[in-house]
Amino acid sequence: MIYTMHKFTTRRQMNTRTPIYEGKAKQLFEGPEPGTLIARFKDDATAFNNQKKGTIRGKGVINNRISEYLMTRLSEVGIPNHFIRTLNMREQLVKAVEIVPLEVIVRNVAAGSFAQRFGLEEGHPIGMPIVEYCLKNDKLGDPFVAEEHIFAFDIADPHELDEIRHLALRINDYLSGLFMGIGIRVVDFKIEFGRHYDEEGRPRIILADEISPDSCRLWDIKTDKKLDKDRFRRDMGGVEEAYQEVAERLGVLPKAEITEISAEKGADA
Ligand code: ADP
Ligand code: AIR
Ligand code: ASP
């Protein structure tokens, strides 16, 4: 209800603003102050590097809220990140960073491409969390890269990569505990980092982009029910409901608002 006014503002603004970047799941606009950006979360969903396309109704609203919530909690435990504040149902203000073009993946349980690569059943436990790096390049299919590639191609220096790995593992610890508390296992996730420059022009590595059911594998602890984008990737049905369930369990979207989102026609038009 409290979002009604913002909703209209957003739609009007959308007609006059030009994104500076149009991604698969988000648009980026210039922010109101220098060094800021507005991230607008869309309902568009893609998988397998854009080969499969669709819409998940209400996803943008839910991911905006979930990402806000998780980034705020992570700030509280000292994980630096780009989130500044929520602007409306689909938009948040973030610090503009120079993205380190890596998809940083942390895995706790075998699933997806990892299960395939090593011939493991999905759900097979991994002895310790594993951090993997893929080059963020859709045209090349986000190829897997080793640390040596990262240094040789000047994607990040050893000090930065140390920081990225250290933060990724801390984020994994924190998220695993937080989701455990609501009966969800964090199977794996993808995060992105960027360089944020302070007033003296010194770069600092901070967490950027989003953390949401688009970027994580989240399974119900008791039933192993998938509550994430795999439902879309694998045509499992119940996609919207899964995103809603994560939001509800986290307590970030009251049921009444979820009903409103579900009923919204052309929410992302
Ligand atoms: P993609 O580019 O992979 O299609 P999205 O649709 O989510 O992904 O678009 C968001 C884009 O914004 C991503 O390319 C991501 O790297 C970039 N990004 C995320 N956070 C920031 C930030 N704080 N500053 C600059 N770029 C960012
Ligand atoms: N991921 C990777 N690229 C985009 C995304 N969202 C995420 C998946 C999964 C993890 O990274 O959502 O949580 C590992 O994906 P995969 O396909 O390599 O097993
Ligand atoms: N986000 C990537 C894509 O849009 C990969 C994925 O989520 O499957 O294709």
The CA distance from 60 to 19, in Å, is: 16
Do residues 145 and 102 make contact, with C-beta atoms less than 8 angstroms apart? yes
Please give the structure tokens belonging to residue 55. Answer: 């819409």
Residue nearest to atom 18 of ligand 1 (CA): 209
The predicted pLDDT at position 7 comes to 41
Give, for ligand 1, the residue of 99, 105, 136 to mutate: max count of ligand atoms closer than 8 Å to Cβ.
99
Ligand 2 probe mutation, 189, 191, 212, most atoms within 8 A of CB: 189
The predicted pLDDT at position 108 comes to 98
Whole-number Å distance, alpha carbon 20 to ligand 1 midpoint, is: 11
In the chain, domain spans = 100-220
Specify the ligand 3 atom closest to the Cα of 229: 7
For a ligand 2 pocket test, name from 135, 215, 232 the mutation site with the most ligand atoms within 8 angstroms of its C-beta.
Answer: 215
Confidence of residue 4 (pLDDT cuts 50, 70, 90): very low
User: How confident is residue 264, by pLDDT bands cut at 50, 70 and 90?
Assistant: low
Dist. CA 85–CA 175, nearest whole Å: 20
Say yes or no: CB of residue 188 within 6 Å of ligand 2: yes
Is a pLDDT exceeding 70 seen at residue 11? no
pLDDT for residue 8 is more than 50? no
pLDDT above 50 (res 184): yes
Q: Which amino acid is at 156?
A: A
| Rounded Cα distance, 11 and 175, in Å | 33
100-220 has which fold? D-amino Acid Aminotransferase; Chain A, domain 1 (3.30.470)
Q: Which residues contact 176 (CB under 8 A, 6 or more apart)?
A: 108, 185, 186
Cβ–ligand 2 contact at 175 (below 6 Å): no
Question: pLDDT at position 13, please?
Answer: 52
Please, which pLDDT band fits residue 255 given cuts at 50, 70 and 90? confident
Q: Which atom of ligand 2 is nearest to the CA of 111?
A: 19
C-alpha of residue 188 to centroid of ligand 2, in Å: 7
- Sequence-separated (6 or more) residues with CB below 8 Å from residue 230: 111, 112, 217, 236
In one-letter notation, the amino acid at residue 170 is: R
Quote the pTM value.
0.93
Q: Which helix (H) or strand (E) holds 173?
A: helix 158-180
Residue 210 has pLDDT above 70, yes or no: yes
Give me ligand 1 centre to Cα 208, in Å: 8
Residue 167: CB within 6 Å of ligand 1? Answer: no
